[in-house]
């Protein structure tokens, strides 16, 4: 794909959109606008206000972006940044790209908190970019949190994201395998663990399969390995009256209810996402919910 200094913004948008559509990109026009604005270092609205402007020196950068997108590298990976809960998050090869559906976990956790100004202790297991913990700390001004991940690289990114979003002084970062190194009790525990069955990884979209870290996707033979590890520690670290909120696959509600009951815990709420699929479970200590059927 060739762009020159004389190519106009409108011409570049049309060329990019057509190329992306032909390559089977899901959102060709949107991706074209985002990448063109980034290549020119302008706000996207400038593409509408001044479509006749020439690319100038931005053409070579745009060409490089276009080639990466045509190779099915996600836009967020190309930019190294993704918005989640209205906040900017740096990405790296060690972190998942935060998905809009994962905001359901934040919404569900916040719905369990009647007083957002009260002091709270929050734990994020498998934090990745830190998006869950940071979003919650952003909404809970007197909360303090711990982010756990087995990847030191992911933790470094999460720490930078916490500082970028103004909550770094209320967050700690621990390299560990799930909750194995965690002490104390937490009012809220959140997690978006790997939940794809190993055999199904090859069925994922190429953008995910090639660019998201496998360790953040692979949930073991049945997709439930990480949940078993989390539930095994949950009674030890969940405060009385507290809640564990986890993201789940659309078909994992019933097996997770069984695992939860076996761990002496109870599913107290199941939350769907915008598409109507099961997306989050709220789990509490079973003795606090004797009337609930797990």
Superfamily of domain 92-288: Vaccinia Virus protein VP39 (3.40.50.150)
Which residues lie closer than 8 Å to 93 by C-beta, 6 or more apart?
153, 213
What are φ and ψ of residue 169, in 5° steps?
-80, -5
C-alpha span between 12 and 224 (Å, rounded): 46
Among 110, 276, 244, 83, residue whose Cα is nearest residue 179: 244
- Give me the pLDDT at residue 290, please: 46
The DSSP secondary structure of 279-291, one letter per residue, reads EEEEEEEGGG-TT
Question: Cβ-count burial of 201 within 10 angstroms (0-12 exposed, 13-18 middle, 19+ buried)?
Answer: middle
Helices and strands: H and E segment counts in the chain: 11, 9
Q: Mean pLDDT per segment of 10 residues, for the chain of length 294 residues?
A: 91 97 96 97 95 94 96 96 97 96 97 95 98 98 98 98 98 96 96 97 94 96 98 95 96 96 95 92 78 41
Give pTM, 2 decimals.
Answer: 0.92
Structure tokens belonging to residue 48: 């509408």
- Give me the pLDDT at residue 288, please: 62
- Give me the pLDDT at residue 147, please: 98
Structure tokens belonging to residue 233: 């520690």
């Amino acid at each position: 794909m060739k762009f020159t200094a004389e190519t106009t913004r409108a011409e570049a948008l049309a060329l990019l959109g057509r190329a992306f559509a032909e390559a089977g990109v899901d959102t060709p026009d949107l991706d074209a606008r985002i990448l063109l604005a980034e290549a020119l270092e302008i706000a996207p609205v400038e593409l509408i206000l001044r479509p006749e402007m020439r690319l100038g020196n931005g053409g070579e950068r745009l060409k490089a972006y276009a080639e990466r997108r045509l190779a099915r590298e996600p836009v967020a990976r190309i930019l190294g940044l993704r918005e989640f809960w209205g906040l900017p998050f740096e990405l790296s090869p060690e972190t998942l790209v935060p998905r809009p559906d994962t905001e359901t976990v934040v919404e569900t956790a916040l719905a369990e908190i009647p007083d957002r100004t009260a002091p709270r202790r929050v734990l994020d297991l498998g934090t990745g970019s830190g998006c869950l913990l940071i979003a919650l700390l952003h909404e809970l001004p007197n909360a303090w949190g711990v982010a756990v991940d087995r990847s030191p690289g992911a933790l470094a990114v999460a720490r930078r994201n916490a500082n970028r979003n103004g909550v770094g002084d209320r967050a700690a970062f621990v390299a560990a395998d799930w909750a194995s190194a965690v002490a104390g009790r937490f009012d809220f525990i959140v997690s978006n663990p790997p939940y794809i069955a190993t055999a199904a990884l090859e069925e994922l979209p190429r953008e995910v399969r090639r660019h998201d870290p496998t360790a953040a996707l692979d949930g073991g033979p049945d997709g439930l390995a990480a949940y078993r590890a989390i539930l095994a520690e949950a009674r030890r670290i969940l405060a009385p009256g507290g809640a564990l909120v986890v993201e789940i696959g659309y078909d994992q509600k019933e097996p997770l209810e069984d695992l939860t009951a076996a761990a002496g815990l109870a599913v107290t709420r199941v939350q769907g996402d915008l598409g109507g699929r099961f997306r989050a479970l709220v789990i509490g200590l079973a003795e606090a919910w004797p009337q609930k059927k797990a």
